[in-house]
Chains A and B, each alone.
Chain A
Amino acid sequence: MGKPSRRQFFKIIGATGAALLAGRGAASASEGHQVNNETLGMLYDATKCVGCKACMSACKRVNSDYGSLSYEQAPFDPDGLWDAPQDLSGSTRTLIKLFKESGKKWSYVKYSCMHCQKPSCVSVCPVSAMTRDKVTGIIDYNKNACIGCRYCQIACAFNIPKFQWDKAIPQIVKCDMCKNTNLIKKGITACAETCPVGAITFGKRKELLEEANKRLRENPGKYINKIYGETEVGGTNHLYLSALPFNKLGLPTLKDEAPAEFSEKIQHTIYKGFIAPVALYGTLCFIAIKNMKKGQEVKNSGQEEGHE
């Protein structure tokens, strides 16, 4: 190996290695990111949910125009009488599913955007189409900026953002807590407003955590003793209580460190102040020009009959 490329290698090895070590060291402390409990969120209590899906239909009714949502037909329903989404999709922002372990042990679960405190989708979006509102904590999507690269889908540990695969003019679909619809008009999300049994509580994250802890305290043995989303991937604003293990309900078991913390650390270490790329360019220019001059000298002294 020649001098410059070796130097170049060490620089990058060093940068990556340093980032790795820093990442390991700071994982527990996580100084960079702080949880803001004044932001808005929802608490879903799976033990209260009766699976009526009123939240799903309210969500679609309220957001269908703004969010470009449509009704999904089931194969058994040729007349299209029911909206029957199988999963979250380019037409559905929230979904109720039933997980049945046995005749006695079963639970409903509601899927929608988790509104992370340190969201991966916002971290990876190249054109700031995904943004996190500093005050409300809502992760919002701007279709007028989105290029449709679907990196947010790769990044999201919960597989929440959905893409409209069957449309010529597609967009990303995910819950925005009715930011532009119900929240403006009524100050509450459509699903929480509609829920007839109070399974969905809307409020500030601080209050939701207090309420969840209260329910855990007052009903020993009823719940799994954990609030899902309190610490997962750096904390989410959509919180869950359940009687069944969360991973059985399709909520993945995740680390407390936000994936975006680690990836951003490496990216920042390599590109901090754009110093490394500029230094690399400068060094390479220096070497290349020196080589070129040397080459010309050799050519001039060596053979006069050479071209040019």
Chain B
Amino acid sequence: MSHNEFQIHRAKIMTPSFIVLLVLTLIGFALIAVRFIKGIGAVTNMSDGYPWGIWITYDVATGTAIACGGYAMAILIYIRNRMQYHPMIRSAILTSMFGYGLAGFSVMVDVGRPWNAYNFFIPSKWQANSAMFEVAVCVMAYTTVLLLEFLPAVLTTLERTQWKTLQLLLDKLYARMGMERPERIGDRLDKVKDLAAWVKPRLDKVLIFIIVLGITLPTMHQSSLGSLLLIASTKLHPLWYTGFLPLLFLINCIFIGYSIAILESVISSYAFKRPYETKELSGIARIIPWLTVIWLSVVIGDLAWRGQLREAVSFDFYSRFFLLEFCLIAGGSLLMFSGKKRESIRWLFVSAALIVLGGALYRFNVYLIGFNPGKGWHYFPALAELLITVGIVAFEILGYQVIVKILPVLPKLHTRQQHDAEKA
């Protein structure tokens, strides 16, 4: 695993989009403060009928699927041995890290008694029957794994850094205070460097075991995100309530993962004015339709077996959302089956976006739209509730923008050309 495939994107950090995202983030976090002072009811429309709102549905159930880029790419690279995609892994892992870290954070905002969360570490409180227990432990473990997977990028930078900004700052500080700068600080900075250099090769040796753990854990908890709703047999609409929920959620997160890897690459190439990675992307796009075909056949087969096909095309409220989800995924896949369209960045973007939307809508359908606790209950997120989610997403994008500019995350440009040359 070479660290030379990645590079720091040299560009200004303070851009207009940075400011916009920062403002959104601050609004979101201010509202989170209100939630902790006045209670969850003060900022949300959740009720005893709809105890899970947009935070669980989007930030956790959908957000972690969108953060499955790292998982899907790791399967492709390390298990299916497609090393040519390795330059794309770090940006995928970075987005996964933000997605999962912030999903964990929004859970802490969502739960009513977060100070009791330490119970997850007390064996006598463990409750293995609960899919929630499995999800919680697995997500915590996976977030740690993602941090470890990302550590090489940080260590490489630490090793090479000259601490320019820090030195400058210290010089100014000491000059202002009128004191001589002690040598000790330089020594300490060197020690950090030495430590990074000491850790890196050792981490490299065990990294493959951590990476494989990073493939096993999402397999477990993404399926369990589906299992979560297995208990709601009387509340979840029969179009979505099936024993295959865990399997459907698992396949769903993998095709969302590949599609989001395509979207991320296209968007960051566009935003950072880098050449498009058309070749790699069309390679990934070849896998996606096969996954969606499996997924769609399980959905249809299961509906047929349970005798719900008529319900699916009845064009009532639920049926419309089901058909929309189905058409988005099927439409995106049809586009991707065409070899010619896979060569075009525009079509790649459109088809991947359709599949991500359809896949995300599936999760919304299961967690919110198809969920009916009985007569008299209604839910639509409150403005403050939405703004908190927006703030968290804004923080995610903000973090990505900043980190690719200070750490080697994006694929090195000449590496790609080298790959092309090798192939030629």
The reply to whether B47 and A281 form a contact with Cβ atoms under 8 Å apart is no
CB neighbours of B246 from chain A (8 A): 12, 16, 266, 270
A168 contacts which chain B residues (CB < 8 A)?
A: 36-39
Q: Which residue of A lies closest to B374 (CB)?
A: A159
* Nearest CB of B to A301, in Å: 14
Q: How far is the CA of A22 from the CA of B46 in the complex (A)?
A: 36
Segment from A44-52, A108-116, A139-147, A198-206 that makes contact with B: A139-147
Interface size of A in residues (CB-CB distance below 8 Å):
74
A263, B131: Cβ atoms closer than 8 Å: yes
A170 B250 Cβ-Cβ under 8 A = no
| Distance, CA A164 to CA B75, complexed state (A) | 43
Q: Which residues of B contact A13 (CB under 8 A)?
A: 247
**Taking CB as reference atom, which chain A residue is nearest B5?**
A307
Tell whether A184 is near chain B: CB-to-CB under 8 Å.
no
The answer for the CA separation of A163 and B39 in the assembled complex, in Å, is 11
Known: A147-B119, A266-B227. Is A123-B129 also a contact (CB below 8 A)?
Answer: yes
Q: Which residues in A have their C-beta under 8 angstroms from that of B110? A: 149
Shortest beta-carbon distance, B39 to chain A, in Å? 5
Q: Which residue of A lies closest to B111 (CB)?
A: A148
User: Which stretch (A54-62, A96-104, A212-220, A291-299) binds chain B?
Assistant: A291-299
Contact B79 A287 (CB under 8 A): yes
Which of B17-25, B205-213, B267-275, B326-334 forms contacts with chain A?
B205-213
- Whole-angstrom distance from the CB of A36 to the nearest CB of chain B? 18
* Nearest CB of chain B from residue A105's CB, rounded to whole Å: 20
Residue B105 interfacial (CB < 8 Å)? no
B125 adjacent to chain A (CB < 8 Å): yes
Q: Does A95 contact B (CB under 8 A)?
A: no
Taking a contact as CB atoms under 8 Å apart, the answer to whether A308 and B2 are in contact is yes
A145 to B118, alpha carbons, bound, how many Å? 9
Number of residue pairs across A and B with beta carbons under 8 Å?
Answer: 209
B10 contacts A by Cβ under 8 Å: no
CA distance A271 to B35 in the complex (A): 36
Known contacts A262-B230, A280-B216, A281-B216: A127-B133 contact under CB 8 Å: yes
A residues within 8 A CB of B220?
277
Which of B36, B52, B116 counts the most chain A CB atoms within 10 A? B116
Q: How far is the CA of A9 from the CA of B36 in the complex (A)?
A: 42
Q: Which of B155-163, B232-240, B311-319 lines the interface with chain A?
A: B232-240
Q: Are B48 and A159 in contact (CB under 8 A)?
A: yes
Residue pair A162, B119 in contact (C-beta under 8 Å): no
Cα-based distance from A19 to B119 in the complex (angstroms): 30
A260 & B231 in contact (Cβ 8 Å cutoff): yes
Question: A192 to nearest B CB, angstroms?
Answer: 25
- Give the secondary structure class of B's interface: helix
Q: Interface-forming stretch among A76-84, A150-158, A221-229? A: A150-158
- B49 touches which one: A20, A124, A159 (CB < 8 A)? A159
Contact, CB under 8 Å: A163 / B36: no
B78 near A291: Cβ-Cβ < 8 Å: yes
Instruction: Judge if A106 is at the interface, Cβ distance under 8 Å.
Output: no
Q: Is the CB of B80 within 8 A of A5?
A: yes
* Closest beta carbon of chain B to A52's beta carbon, Å: 25
Answer whether residue B244 sits at the interface, using C-beta atoms and an 8 A cutoff. yes
Mask, B99-139, CB within 8 Å of A = 1, is 00000000100111110110110001111111111101000
**CB–CB B112/A2 < 8 A:** no
The yes or no answer to B4 lying at the interface (CB within 8 A) is yes
Residues of A within 8 A of B81 (CB): 291, 294-295
Question: Judging by beta carbons under 8 Å apart, are A307 and B39 in contact?
Answer: no
Residue of B nearest to A298 (CB): B83
Known: A165-B46, A252-B374, A307-B2. A151 touches B213 (CB 8 A): no
Q: List 7 A-B contacts (CB under 8 A).
A: A20-B244, A147-B117, A157-B235, A170-B112, A270-B223, A271-B134, A284-B212
On B, residues with C-beta under 8 Å from A are: 1-2, 4, 36-42, 44, 46-49, 51-52, 75, 78-81, 83, 107, 110-114, 116-117, 119-120, 124-134, 136, 208-209, 211-213, 215-216, 219-220, 223-224, 227-235, 243-244, 246-247, 250-251, 290, 294, 373-374
